Every structure is written in C-alpha cells, then in structure tokens.
Amino acid sequence: MASPVRVRFAPSPTGHLHVGGARTALFNWLFARHHRGAFVLRIEDTDRSRSTDENIVAIVDALQWLGLDWDEGPPTPGYRQTERFAIYREHAQRLLASGRAYYCDCPPELLDRERGVAQQRGETFRYSGRCRDRGLGAGALRLRIPTAGATVVNDLIHGPVTFEHSQLDDWILVRTDGTPTYNFCVVVDDVTMSITHVIRGDDHLSNTPKQILCYEALDYAVPEFAHVSLILGKDRSRLSKRHGATSVQAFRDSGIPADALVNYLARLGWSHGDQEVFSRAELVELFDIKNVASSGAVFDATKLEWLSQLYLKTMDGARLAELAEPFVRAVGLTPPPDRPRFIAMLDTLRERAKTLVELVEQGRFYFERPAAYEAKAAQTLLTVEGARRLGLVIARLEGAPEFTVAAIERVFRALTEELGLKLVDLAQLARLAATGRTASPPIFDVLALVGREESLVRLRRAREAAERTA
C-alpha cells in the first residue's frame, strides 16, 4: 500500500486570498479528500515586511468560508515559517557538512555586474561559482549543483519537463544575514511535513528543478509535482486587481454562495466530461489531477454568476434564509421573525437574482414600504383611471373572505373580466403600488406575503398618489 497522500497549501500572507490561490487550495483539498489523505495549511511568512497577521486571518477566513478545511495547520503552532528557523538552520548545517553547500562572499555589486553582462549577451544569469572551492567559513550559503546533466520534473499535469543543469546555477539557500530563502524553506518544509504531492501554481515550474536538486542533496525522496495553470484576465495575462474583483472576500461580499464559487473554480481548468454542476461529494469523488488542463484559463465572471444563480435557485430554503439574512441586515432592513414567511419571500426572489446582494435589492419591498414609485410607470399608471381601478381592487380585497394567493387571483381575474381589461392592466397597477416597481415576483404571491393589512395600506397610498397627480 502506498504511503498516505499528504498535500499542502502554502499561501504567503501578503494580501487577501486571490481566486487563483483559492483554486490551488481547492485542487489540493480535493486531491487530499479524494485520496483520503491529509491537507496541510502552511503560512509562508518569511517576508516579514509584507506579511501581516490581518492577512493570515483573512486567508483563514476565506478558506473556511469556502469550506476547505485543513487537517494540520494554524492555529496549531509550527505551521508558520517564522516559527521554523531552527529547522532550516539545521538542514543548512547538514548541507554544509556534507559539502553539498558552500559559503560565498561575492559582493552584491559584483553579482549585479555579472548579471548585467549576462543580460547583454542574451543569456540567463547564472552565478559563476567563484566561491565553490574557496572553503569560506561565512557568507551566503549556496547549493552546489551538478555541472553536467539535466533534471527532469515529472509533472502530473505537464508530463516530463527537462531542465539542463547548464541553465541552472548554485542558488542561495541562506542569506548572509542568516535568513533562509523561499526556495530552501519550501523544500525543508515539504520534506519535514512529509508532503507527497506538491500541487501549486505554474509560476513555480521553473523553480522546481532547483528544488529537486536540493532534495537530492539532502538525500530525501522527491515528492510528486503538479503545476496548475494560472488564471488569466480578459487580456490573457495573469489575473490581477486591474482585471476587477479577484479576492475571495470580494465574491463573498457580492453575495455569491461559496458552493457556486467552488463549483466554478473547480470547472476552471478541470473537467469531467461535459458535466458542469457538481456537489461537494461529487467533486471529491470525481476529482483526478490528470484531468486538470495544462493551459491557462480566462476568468469568466458571467459564468460564475450563472452558477451563483443556479445555486440560489436550487439550494434548501432554510439554508438560503441563513445566507440571505446578513445581506438583508447589511442594508439596514430586517427579515420577518416568522421564518417560514421569510423563506417563502426568498422563494419568490431566488430565481430572479444572480447574487444575494441582487436578491435583497430586488426584494426590499418585502421588508419596507416602497419609498417612491418608478417615475415612468407612475406617469402612465397613476392616473384618474388608475385611482378608480385601485379603488375597486381595494374594495374587493377588503371584502375577500381570505387573503391567499388563490383568493387574491380570483379577485383580480373577476374584476378584470368585469371591467373588460387584461390581467396585466390591473397587475401592473398593483405591482407598482406594492413594490414601487414594474418588475417583481408574481404580484399575487407578493400581496399574500406582504399580508392583507400592509397590502391595503400600500394600495391606498398609491391611490392617493394617483389622485394627487390627477
């Protein structure tokens, strides 16, 4: 039996969780859950100037919101690089003792000059190896890599990718000031955390051969690698803020259900035949890293919205109420204390909104009287004739034996018939009165949900408004 799968997501807390990072996290999580392995969260905060605790909280929040739970990681200590310096130091010592690493005291100015020369000659800069055999006792610690041959990265998504050693150089493991570099930390962390599969962004593919050489120098087994393509913006360059909303936080705030975002992100680059909609369980069951596309994918907010609406439309009512409530409160309104009634209101709204923000916006009349009437509609509907019709509707509704959707509909249909009108003539009038707008959920449902008393208040107010303008 193969050793248990262990993967990790290692964000750098220099900002909020980006959708690209979220997708990488998702693929790791799916891989771990599919293989019944462990998902580790590790914080790469060696860049102290840009890393903040607030960002760590934000990233943790975003991951939890997405439902990507980790088996190991914060708040348990030992999963932040800044807590692991002793481990890096120890590994550096080992490399030095075995002769696989050496000190270098080349001044930065010299390196810069050499870099400049290499650039002019149109070559990739490589450290000259000047200090390789000087046996220095201090300075920056460099990894001694083989001069000949090549290192092959057997990528699970890309297949074998070969890098000639002549293109690589003796890179720095530990800086002169004693701090370890990112590439070194990653190797040591992945090794000491027994990571079996490194699933990360494509932008790390070029670093991989250097890291593999470090594993080998340390005499550790090399993990499997899978480099996921980047998420692109409309112009096909790496998705960034200038392409619009990119943080998970922003999508949450705009009222997109976490399940919809997860579904969208999963489908962006990964596929299972023609299937577009997946439950969590299906995702876990069907996910296979081999079906992850190797090409970059443009982020399509419109398709995300389609999924968002689909989830709003189909999710459980109680769950929807739970998700919608904070959005109702966020605009200063209050959902009715009667939960089934609140859910019934949402049921009339859910297929009309792409996000929870939109849903609340379109349904605010359920929680407050319309403050104004749509100007154009008021002009054509709130007339003398409109006032007369509203009066008739009010009278019939007052006398109706009950105030159910069916009863209200009977009143409207009968009146329509008697007046020789079309249903739309009365419906739009009532709609404007009850909601202030010309577009809303079915008006009989709206009236029933708003209740007899409040409905009549709104109809009377509209009649008064009509009489005023007349």
Bond preceding residue 75 cis, omega within 30 of 0: yes
Closest CA to 299 of 366, 246, 256: 246
Q: How far is the CB of 467 from RNA (least distance, A)?
A: 24
DSSP state of 292: B
CA dist., res. 187 & res. 81, Å (int): 12
Q: Output 37 or 446, the one with its CB closest to RNA.
A: 446
Beta carbons within 8 Å of 348's beta carbon, 6+ residues apart: 363, 441, 442, 445, 446, 449
Catalytic residue from among 241, 303, 313, 422:
241
**For RNA, which is the closer residue by CB, 70 or 299?**
299
For the bound state, the minimum distance from the C-beta of residue 224 to RNA, rounded and expressed in Å, comes to 16
Which CB sits closer to RNA, 54 or 69?
Answer: 54
Using an 8 Å Cβ cutoff, are 228 and 27 in contact? Answer: yes
Grouping H, G, I as helix, E, B as strand and the rest as coil, residue 349 is: helix
- Of 159 and 420, nearer to RNA (C-beta) is 159
Q: Which is nearer to RNA, 6 or 23 (CB)?
A: 23
Please report how close the Cβ of residue 67 comes to RNA at its closest, in angstroms.
Answer: 21
CA-nearest of 8, 62, 11 to 31 is 8
Measured from the CB of residue 249, what is the shortest distance to RNA in angstroms?
A: 19
Determine the angle formed by the axes of helices 208-218 and 182-192, rounding to 10 degrees.
50
Closest approach, Cβ 443 to RNA, in A, equals 4
- Cα torsion 163, 166, 170, 171: sign: negative
Q: How far is the CB of 264 from RNA (least distance, A)?
A: 8
CB under 8 Å to 410, separation ≥6 — which residues?
Answer: none
Nearer to RNA, 298 or 318 (CB): 298
- End-to-end alpha carbon distance in the chain: 85
Least distance from RNA to the Cβ atom of residue 416, Å: 9
Active site residue 210: no
Q: Long-range contacts of range 69-72, CB-CB < 8 Å, 24 or more positions apart?
A: 69/29, 69/39, 70/9, 70/29, 70/39, 70/40, 70/41, 71/32, 71/38, 71/39, 71/40, 72/38, 72/39, 72/40, 72/41, 72/193
Closest CA to 455 of 383, 382, 405: 405
Give least dist CB 18 to RNA, A.
Answer: 12
Burial class (CB in 10 A: 0-12, 13-18, 19+), 453: exposed
Residue number, 74 or 467, with CB nearest to RNA? 74
- Kindly state the smallest distance separating residue 293's Cβ from RNA, in Å: 4
How far apart, in whole angstroms, are the C-alpha atoms of residue 172 and residue 91? 14
CA torsion 72-73-78-84 (nearest 10°) is 110
Burial class (CB in 10 A: 0-12, 13-18, 19+), 406: exposed
Of 294 and 334, nearer to RNA (C-beta) is: 294
Q: How far apart are CA 279 and CA 434, in angstroms?
A: 38
- The tokens of 427 are what? 């419906």
HSE-CB at 208 with a 13 A cutoff on CA atoms is 27
Report the distance separating Cα 137 and Cα 142, nearest Å.
12
> For residues 37 and 265, which CB has a smaller minimum distance to RNA in the complex?
265
Distance CA 205, CA 323 (A): 39
Beta bridge partners, 90, equal none
Would you please indicate which residues are annotated as catalytic (active-site) residues?
A: 241
